[in-house]
Amino acid sequence: MPKNAPRVWLTTSQAAQELGCSAKYLRENRDTIFKRGTHYRVLNPSAWRPTYRWHLKKIQKLMEA
């Protein structure tokens, strides 16, 4: 993948910055608005504090609707 290619799966803070919302908004709506596997994924589900990655384009499409 080229260095300047846009990343698809972003961390919570990166996604929040790109979307113009807060990381808290993403966390609070993770299980209500967003769909696991489509809008976000869990990198380490058995961890005490799981790490999430967000699909920027799919979230943007959802927010436009």
CATH code where residue 49 lies:
1.10.1660.60
Q: Is 15 exposed, middle or buried (0-12, 13-18, 19+ CB in 10 A)?
A: buried
In a domain, 2, yes or no: no
User: pLDDT value at position 8?
Assistant: 86
With cut-offs at 50, 70 and 90, classify the pLDDT of residue 62: very high
Kindly report, residue by residue over 18-27, the tens digit of the pLDDT.
999 999 999 9
Range of the domain at 28: 9-64
Average pLDDT across the chain, whole number: 91
In a domain, 28, yes or no: yes
Alpha carbon separation from 20 to 28, 43, 46, 55, 59 (Å, rounded)? 15, 23, 30, 15, 12
In a domain, 60, yes or no: yes
In a domain, 4, yes or no: no
Average pLDDT for residues 7-28, to the nearest whole number? 95
In a domain, 54, yes or no: yes
In a domain, 51, yes or no: yes
Domain count within the chain = 1
